[in-house]
Chains A and B, each alone.
Chain A
């Protein structure tokens, strides 16, 4: 595993894929909720700015940005530019449609189905809440959780990291070599911290004196550890502080030996 991690550093030295992403609509709803703005009157310039900031951050983290996110970015910019254009002759009956209308309709529709899906999951599920003499199908009986559900939303995690990054000034000099540390090394460090302390506050892993690169490496290490199911990330209450714990060790044998191919983490040298 270690050898695999240390493949020669390529231009895109590391690539972490996040599966919890539900797409650009999810991100937009998150931004709207976070800013507490009216969905029927979205301040498009501000939301577009924040959306693009997230995209920038994802790019900086080398996270795989799905094409849909780029399409939405283009849509937002198009809406923004249409909002800036003067409205032609309003005296005529032909009402000029709000450029945001289509997007708002999609967001509301999407939100509606999200709510419907949360209504579904609280029902009395067969095999979870209620039981019959036989389970409907062997495929379902064997159905393992597809992925460990993240107790913390990815966006919350990125948001927390964004706050940390914003504390560091961007124009720090790029120090070569000094504290260059690979993700693999940082993963071991974080793991050993966790094995000692059991529970660690997310913020405490990022200290004042760390360089921007080290912050990014640390964040990527946390994502990778989460993906490998070696740690659990929890949040006590919504918007509360985020905590990391070492994953339960009873299924450690399974988690400890991930297939090297699954590890989209190669030659992870940064710094």
Chain B
């Protein structure tokens, strides 16, 4: 019937790939199609999945598109996989949140905000690939600067960094942040891959 419809082709590519597939990547693969048409096909697919009574949905996550199960089925899948899923300690979560919102950020800045040594937790988050080293800060000592990884977005079901929920504002009542005069990059931009 519609064996060669663009929508079906896009669906098959997303099904096969084991990471979120970006529009850029799809456009590169499907060179004979217009980028705009691919985008429409993706939107159609997302609609189809959202409105059909199926076990999987197409979601935008980690800068791409991925087929994922619905959260309300989690319990059944956990029975199949016999796993409870990842669990985080409070220190890991705090550190992840600080890096997510403040990146690029140095260890000193994280420790100032948390009030405790954070070397160990940073190391473990780096090992788990949830954080990555973005480079070095151009201040004395050239400290490493950290940011979140694509895996972080995938794990926490985030389309991109700008879809992080906004931080609650705090009232200005004290001297400025001692790190405020150091240049910072805009949050939304994914730094170029190393």
User: How many residues of chain A get a CB closer than 8 Å to chain B's CBs?
Assistant: 53
Whether A208 is near chain B, meaning CB under 8 Å from some CB there, is: no
Complex contact B74–A132 (CB within 8 A): no
Contacts of A109 in B (CB 8 A): 113, 170
Q: Which of A55-63, A114-122, A177-185 contacts B (4 or more CB under 8 A)?
A: A114-122
- The answer on a CB contact under 8 Å between A22 and B156 is no
Pair A113/B97 contact, Cβ less than 8 Å: yes
B124: Cβ under 8 A from any A Cβ: yes
Are B156 and A114 in touch, CB under 8 angstroms? no
- Is A102 part of the binding interface, using a Cβ–Cβ cutoff of 8 Å? yes
- Contacting chain B: which of A5-13, A85-93, A139-147, A163-171? A139-147
17 A-B pairs with CB atoms under 8 Å apart are A21-B116, A22-B116, A24-B115, A97-B175, A101-B174, A104-B173, A104-B174, A110-B113, A116-B100, A117-B96, A121-B88, A123-B158, A129-B85, A130-B68, A132-B67, A136-B129, A149-B87
Known contacts A115-B168, A145-B87, A136 near B174 by CB under 8 Å? no
Are A127 and B86 touching (Cβ within 8 A)?
yes
Q: Is the CB of B90 within 8 A of A22?
A: yes
Chain A residues with CB below 8 A from B67, complex form: 132-133
> Nearest Cβ in chain A — how far from B61, in angstroms?
8
- In the complex, the answer to whether B115 meets A110 with C-beta atoms within 8 Å is yes
Is B154 in contact with chain A by the CB < 8 A criterion? yes
CB-CB nearest 5 A-B residue pairs: A128-B85, A105-B174, A23-B116, A145-B87, A134-B18
Output the nearest chain A residue to B129 by Cβ-Cβ distance. A137
Is B128 part of the binding interface, using a Cβ–Cβ cutoff of 8 Å?
yes
Given known contacts A115-B168, A149-B87, A149-B89, A120 and B114 CB-to-CB distance under 8 angstroms: no
Contact status A119-B86, CB under 8 Å? no
With both chains docked as a complex, state the minimum distance between the C-beta of A99 and any C-beta of chain B, in angstroms.
11
A81 to B15, CA, bound (A): 65
Could you tell me the distance between the alpha carbons of A97 and B67 in the complex, rounded to whole angstroms? 55
Flag if B175 contacts A101 (CB, 8 Å). yes
Residues on B with C-beta less than 8 A from A68 are 115-117
Considering only CB atoms, which chain B residue lies closest to A66 in the complex?
A: B116
On A, residues with C-beta under 8 Å from B are 19-26, 40, 66, 68, 72, 97, 101-102, 104-106, 108-110, 112-121, 123-134, 136-137, 139-140, 143-147, 149
Is A112's CB under 8 angstroms from B170's CB? yes
Q: Which residues of A contact B68 (CB under 8 A)?
A: 126, 130-132
Is B127 within 8 A of A139, CB to CB?
A: yes
B residues contacting the other copy or chain, number (CB 8 A): 56
Look across to chain B and name the residue whose beta carbon is closest to the beta carbon of A148: B87
User: Are A126's CB and B115's CB within 8 A?
Assistant: no
* Residues 12-30 (chain B) with a chain A CB within 8 angstroms: 15, 18-19
| CB proximity of A28 to chain B, nearest CB, Å | 9
| Bound Cα distance from A140 to B152, whole angstroms | 10
> Which residues of A have CB within 8 Å of B78?
128
B155 near A127 with CB under 8 A, answer yes
Contact present for A120 and B83 (CB under 8 Å): no
Which single residue of chain A is at the shortest CB-CB distance from B102? A113
Cβ of B44 under 8 Å from chain A: no
Is B168 touching A102 in the complex (CB atoms < 8 A)?
no
Bound-complex Cα distance A146 to B129 (A): 16
Give the residue among A19, A66, A97, A113 with the most B Cβ atoms within 10 A: A113
Asked if B43 is at the interface of the complex by the 8 Å CB criterion, the answer is no
Smallest CB separation, A88 vs chain B (Å): 19
On whether the beta carbons of A143 and B18 are closer than 8 Å, the reply is no
Contact B71 A117 (CB under 8 A): no
Q: Tell me the chain B residues, 156-174 only, with Cβ under 8 Å from chain A.
A: 156-158, 165, 167-168, 170-171, 173-174
Task: For A114, list chain B residues within 8 Å (CB).
Answer: 94, 97
